[in-house]
Amino acid sequence: MSYNRPYDRNESVSVSCAFYNKIGACRHGEKCSKKHIKPTRSKTLLLANLYQNPKLNKNESEPILPKQLQETLDQFYQDVFIHLCQKGEIASLVVCENENNHLNGNVYVRFFSADDAGRANQQLNQEWFNGKPVHSDLSPVTNFDEARCRAYDTDSCERGEMCNYMHVRQPTKEIQIKLCQAQEKKYLLKRIEKLKWTLKEFEQEGGGGGEELEKGDSQSNSVTTNSLLEQLS
């Protein structure tokens, strides 16, 4: 006696979509035959179609010069970086300028902390940016280098809008350095502030007591100070 598996059982065995997993977006969207498994926790967020690529502005009669493209991107990158770094310390930020629907203007931000990313995701979905409502989602992308189109970096991608990899435009080096330094300073100051508070609390708790207690306190004092200093390194 033969046994045939029900048809829908075979359907449910479909594999997860490699494009969605690696690039965070797939041209078939919700109609994809493979599974798009959204993470429930991630350090990466996708802000879909947030960047308005001037190349796609059909109202422009004149072609846009590369210098203008770079200036527009630089301004946007700076604004979005400053906005996002208030929500958590940014590990990387990329802006796509693909000329297709599923990657066009996508912004990917990877935070150092998944908690910060989760909080930022909730906040961003209530916000507007540059006159547009923000659509934020937790993304499975972990490595932007693997998701990027290498050929586009050297202006030699021949797939054009059919390319399924990220076409990333980098901000000007000086802007990137300036933003990273500003962020480092902000978070260093935050850590120092936290350290000061913890020490102050410790000093308040540690005052008075007998000889034995004082000895114990001075030991734990040095342990606490060392562990706090580690936070600054």
Cβ atoms of 76 and 68 closer than 8 Å: no
Candidate residues 152, 168, 169, 171; the one interacting with Zn ion per rule CB under 5 A: 152
Helices vs strands, H then E, count in the chain? 8, 6
Among residues 45, 109, 138, 163, which is the contact residue for Zn ion, using CB under 5 A?
163
Considering only the stretches 86-94, 116-124, 148-156, 217-225, report the one whose residues sit in contact with Zn ion under the rule CB under 5 A. 148-156
Interface of this chain with Zn ion, residues 56 to 95, rule: CB under 5 A = none
Half-sphere exposure of 34 (CA within 13 A, CB side): 13
Cβ-contact 91, 141 below 8 angstroms: no
Greatest Cα pair distance, the chain, in angstroms, is: 86
Integer Cα distance of 103 and 222 in angstroms: 52
What is the CB neighbour count within 10 angstroms for residue 27? 16
Q: Which of 157, 195, 199, 228 binds Zn ion (CB under 5 A)?
A: 157
- The stretch near Zn ion (CB under 5 A) out of 7-15, 109-117, 135-143, 155-163 is 155-163
Count residues binding Zn ion (CB under 5 A): 10
Stretch of 45-53, 115-123, 149-157, 214-222 contacting Zn ion, by CB under 5 A: 149-157
Footprint on this chain of Zn ion (rule: CB under 5 A): 17, 20, 26, 28, 32, 34, 149, 152, 157, 163
